[in-house]
Structure 1
Amino acid sequence: MKARALRIHGASDLRIDEFELPKINDDEILVKVVSDSICMSTYKCAILGPKHKRVHSDVAQHPAITGHEFAGDIVEVGEKYKDQFKAGMKFTLQPALNYKGTMWSPGYSYEFCGGDATYCILPPEVMELGCLLEYKGEAYFEASLAEPMSCCIGAFHACFHTEMGVYAHTMGIKQGGNIALLAAAGPMGLGALTYAIHSEHRPSLIVLTDINSKRLSRAKFLFEKEAQECGVRVEFINTSNIDDVANYLRRFSPLGFDDVFAFAPIASVVQLGSDILGRDGCLNFFAGPIDKQFCAPLNFYDVHYNSTHVIGTTGGNTYDMLESLRMTEKKQLDPAVMITHIGGLNCAAETTLNLPKIPGGKKLIYTHLDLPLTAIEDFRTLSVKDIRFGILADIIDAHNGLWCVEAEKYLLNNWT
């Protein structure tokens, strides 16, 4: 069958291709992709091309479909998996396969498997590793965002704490503790915030910092009341005009913070994280740098005498994704807080290559639509020329300004 997809042919070389998908083998599954959210990791992949660790060296001859945060419907199931999966099942997948020691992953490495496509073929290793996941919720975008949400969940699970004289780690953030989310008013920071508020190991205090007043205002609007209802105090701090940020943040937690997450690969942010750690504090360097020589100052006096420690996480595992899916199905998480833009497959290349320059949060691509990248906050203005945007704006206004199930259904039913 014919498929359209955004494929990487080389460094900064992304193209919308139309091609014939081969007939699936007995150990493969054909899927229809409905939504894919664009990740900063895809931007790094697109910029680096075959220099990226997950992109194969002959990508020019065998271009790889981009996008790994995708969801859709199963269309056809190979004979081997017919007892396990059925046509019509709504799905998402865990893309970090780590299959037989390779770094291959959907969205980076496969000629016929990736999220920026109308249809694609899931290779056998996806099913062998238990990475094809059913989603029983309503919206495709929620299933797409299970992957970035799992990155946040995995980061929280990877933190650890110790007791003096006991050689064992207690995994996870400190329950009832104080946490700081630095440079965190973007999509991943808000994902971490919504999980922190609703997780079993919820803290008592969260301090979220950023230098963008617009993003901070949106975060406060979305979360302040919700956090109070969950018994969590959240402080939203604009650090752009504060001379001694570490000293200022310690006013909220005089003994330092139990868990700190750095959401920007900036040396000053990492150093700030080190400076505000309390005894046995855990600093998670969440943001992945492109610069292989990236370094930042770290207080090793505190490492030695105060047992502070640093970890870094990239992605989540299948269990993290399942936790995200189940919490979303139960309405305990709303990953829509991440989304600020929607678009069709036609804008995926330009959006990916310019992702760091485009303000806002997650850019959500509906792969069967032709639609320019459009900010949700612009719907009302666009309704002057297209009444459909006015209807979408009404739906969004009724849902606290967030993308939602109703908006997705209207979009899919009314755009080509």
Structure 2
Amino acid sequence: MKTKAVRMYGTRDLRLEEFELPQIKDDEILVKIMSDSICMSTYKLVEQGKNHKRAPKNIDTNPVIIGHEFSGVIVEVGEKWKDQFKPGMKFAQQPALNYKGSLASPGYSYEFFGGACTYCIIPHEVMELGCLMPYDGSFFEASLGEPMSCCIGGYHGNYHTNKRNHDLKTGVKEDGYVLVAGGCGPMGLGMISYGIQLEDHPKKIVVTDIDDAKLARAEEVISVEQAAKNGVELCYVNTATMADPVKELMELTDGHGFDDAFVMLPIKPVVELCDKLMAFDGCMNFFAGPTDNQFSANINMYDVHYTSKHIVGTTGGNNDDLIEANTLAAAGKIEPAVMVTHVGGINSIIDATLTLPQIPGGKKLTYTQFDMPLTAIEDFGKLGKTDPLFKKLDEACKKNRGLWCAEAENILFEHFGVEY
């Protein structure tokens, strides 16, 4: 079986190549990849090359397939798994393996397993950990299930204490104040989408950014009114326009401070701003992974001791988080599509990955079975004046508040003759 894949050979060395996959073993599964969204973590991987903790040291001779936010269809099943999986089944997958303490993960560590390809092989450890999951829905939502599971894992990773005993309560504080700092990127939108639908929801979620256009889009796709229907007060603010951000953000909590804060950008002033805003027993989650392994910020350790401030960091989700993400998306309680601003084909993956921080907007969603330039959803209308494909895509998205959707996905598959 031949596959076409984007492979990493070293720092910023990505190549789109066609090569032969080996025959699967009895404990492996061959899959056809349909969609793969591009994660900032992949950009960080490519910037570090073999120096990344998850990358093998021999990638110059044994390159790895990049991409870990993917979904597709099962093609061939090894003998060991034939009772559980069948050819033709759609799947979602959880890339955070942690198999016997190994950091190996699809999109970082495997020659024949990753998302930026047409076909790949699911290895035995994925199967043994239950990280391959049958799925029934749009491929793009399964791809976005992984980043949403990271957001859900972030919420579950926060915790609070009490002074009566040493019991810890995980999750954000019910009826509390939540800060999503630098929260208008795709992962920030995931945080908001999940937070406003919680049954034990916070009283208020404050989302900060310094870009009015990003704030406007965030409020358009996750409105204040939508949050209010779920009993959550949602507030978008531009801290760049504030004379005294600490004072003005504290006022949004009536002087209480934030019970939970998610740091969505690995920027020193953002970390230090959040640190100054925490309430008693507040939990600050450093969610954004830095590229610089020497990154640091000044934290008030006096408050850590005397006001029970907690500092945690979460990365990735687990199987339960992915199941929750897919279940909530299927029920319409969260909307992963709010993350997506660009769509492209397999030929767009290299340039999009290498220049990811410079491309405005949110998630870059790619479909790996065909070529297509990376295109902003907001440009569909303009392109549709001369291109019938983009006219159809524009009409489909406009029916869905300007968001990517299953109808648009199916239009692409029909146009390019993709079967599954």
Q: TM-score, normalised on structure 1? A: 0.98
One-letter identity of the residue aligned with 1:264: L
Give me the whole-angstrom Cα distance separating, in 2, the residues matched to 1:219 and 1:228. 15
CA-CA distance at 1:246 after TM superposition = 1.1
Give me the whole-angstrom Cα distance separating, in 2, the residues matched to 1:201 and 1:406. 33
Give me the whole-angstrom Cα distance separating, in 2, the residues matched to 1:129 and 1:325. 18
Aligned residue in 1 for 2:231: 231
Aligned residue in 1 for 2:364: 363
CA-CA distance at 1:415 after TM superposition = 3.0
CA-CA distance at 1:387 after TM superposition = 1.6
Listed as ranges, the gaps of 5+ residues in structure 2 are none
Aligned residue in 2 for 1:119: 119
Give me the whole-angstrom Cα distance separating, in 2, the residues matched to 1:376 and 1:101. 40
Aligned residue in 1 for 2:340: 339
Aligned residue in 1 for 2:59: 59
Give me the whole-angstrom Cα distance separating, in 2, the residues matched to 1:393 and 1:213. 24
Q: TM-score, normalised on structure 2? A: 0.97
Give me the whole-angstrom Cα distance separating, in 1, the residues matched to 2:83 and 2:346. 33
Aligned residue in 1 for 2:189: 190
Cα deviations across residues 153-205 of structure 1 (Å, max 9, x unaligned)?
A: 00000100011142121111111211011000000000000000112331110
SS of equivalent to 1:180: strand
Matched, 1:353 2:328: no
Could you tell which deviates more after superposition, 301-310 or 52-61? 301-310
SS of equivalent to 1:30: strand
One-letter identity of the residue aligned with 2:192: L
Cα deviations across residues 353-406 of structure 1 (Å, max 9, x unaligned)?
A: 110111100000100111001000000011122121111111111101100011
Aligned residue in 2 for 1:82: 82
One-letter identity of the residue aligned with 1:374: T
Listed as ranges, the gaps of 5+ residues in structure 1 are none
Aligned residue in 2 for 1:243: 243
Matched, 1:206 2:205: yes
Aligned residue in 1 for 2:13: 13
Aligned residue in 2 for 1:22: 22
Give me the whole-angstrom Cα distance separating, in 1, the residues matched to 2:110 and 2:310. 37
Give me the whole-angstrom Cα distance separating, in 2, the residues matched to 1:67 and 1:241. 37
Give me the whole-angstrom Cα distance separating, in 2, the residues matched to 1:267 and 1:353. 24
CA-CA distance at 1:98 after TM superposition = 1.4
One-letter identity of the residue aligned with 2:78: G
One-letter identity of the residue aligned with 1:62: N
Count of residue correspondences = 415
SS of equivalent to 2:166: strand
Give me the whole-angstrom Cα distance separating, in 1, the residues matched to 2:273 and 2:200. 24
Alignment of 1:131-210 (within 5 A): 131-137=131-137, 139-210=138-209
Give me the whole-angstrom Cα distance separating, in 1, the residues matched to 2:199 and 2:131. 25
One-letter identity of the residue aligned with 1:336: A
SS of equivalent to 1:264: coil
Cα deviations across residues 117-164 of structure 1 (Å, max 9, x unaligned)?
A: 000000000001111011122x10000001100100000001000111
SS of equivalent to 1:287: coil
SS of equivalent to 1:208: strand
One-letter identity of the residue aligned with 2:369: H
Give me the whole-angstrom Cα distance separating, in 2, the residues matched to 1:148 and 1:201. 22
CA-CA distance at 1:243 after TM superposition = 2.4
Aligned residue in 2 for 1:329: 330
Matched, 1:406 2:404: no
Give me the whole-angstrom Cα distance separating, in 2, the residues matched to 1:21 and 1:5. 11
Aligned residue in 1 for 2:273: 272
One-letter identity of the residue aligned with 1:361: G
Give me the whole-angstrom Cα distance separating, in 1, the residues matched to 2:199 and 2:413. 35
SS of equivalent to 1:167: coil
Give me the whole-angstrom Cα distance separating, in 2, the residues matched to 1:121 and 1:415. 24
Aligned residue in 2 for 1:257: 258
Give me the whole-angstrom Cα distance separating, in 2, the residues matched to 1:21 and 1:199. 43
One-letter identity of the residue aligned with 1:331: G
Cα deviations across residues 235-286 of structure 1 (Å, max 9, x unaligned)?
A: 1001112121111011111111110111000111111111111110000000
Aligned residue in 1 for 2:110: 110
CA-CA distance at 1:329 after TM superposition = 1.4
Give me the whole-angstrom Cα distance separating, in 2, the residues matched to 1:331 and 1:75. 29
Could you tell which deviates more after superposition, 350-359 or 224-233? 224-233
Give me the whole-angstrom Cα distance separating, in 1, the residues matched to 2:415 and 2:352. 23
One-letter identity of the residue aligned with 2:311: V
Give me the whole-angstrom Cα distance separating, in 2, the residues matched to 1:30 and 1:388. 31
Matched, 1:221 2:220: yes
Aligned residue in 2 for 1:378: 379
Give me the whole-angstrom Cα distance separating, in 2, the residues matched to 1:95 and 1:395. 31
Give me the whole-angstrom Cα distance separating, in 1, the residues matched to 2:340 and 2:271. 26
Give me the whole-angstrom Cα distance separating, in 2, the residues matched to 1:412 and 1:246. 49
Aligned residue in 1 for 2:39: 39
Give me the whole-angstrom Cα distance separating, in 2, the residues matched to 1:402 and 1:202. 25
One-letter identity of the residue aligned with 1:248: E
Give me the whole-angstrom Cα distance separating, in 2, the residues matched to 1:15 and 1:6. 5
One-letter identity of the residue aligned with 1:311: V
